[in-house]
Amino acid sequence: MPQRYSGAKELRKSHKKHLHNLDIKSELKRTIKSFLKAVQEKNKTEAESGLKLVYKKLDKAAKRNIFHKNTASRRKSHYQRQLKSLN
């Protein structure tokens, strides 16, 4: 436990931020999972709409410093290639 009031406050803040980031990451994982399911089932229209959502969530996570922008870019590229494999 922190000894000072400011240390306790920082601990509360970091815990709250951790839970918020965890929510964003888990929502992103759910979106990616549904996109990959659509790709596996070769459902192109659903996969295209899912890819837009994945892009949106990855960009937002990069904007909020949950992921580095290059990590988000690399993942977007990876999912784009998976969508192109349907053609």
pLDDT digits (tens, 9 = 90+) for 8-51: 999 999 999 999 999 999 999 999 999 999 999 999 999 999 99
Q: Does domain 5-84 have CATH number 1.20.58.110?
A: yes
In three state form, how does the secondary structure of 2-60 look?
CCCHHHHHHHHHHHHHHHHHHHHHHHHHHHHHHHHHHHHCCCHHHHHHHHHHHHHHHHH
- What pLDDT shows up at residue 77? 97
Give the helix/strand (H/E) hosting 73.
helix 69-84
> Exposure of 24 by Cβ count < 10 A (0-12 exposed, 13-18 middle, 19+ buried)?
middle
- What pLDDT shows up at residue 1? 86
pLDDT digits (tens, 9 = 90+) for 49-64: 999 999 999 999 999 9
pLDDT digits (tens, 9 = 90+) for 65-87: 999 999 999 999 999 999 999 87
pTM comes to 0.86
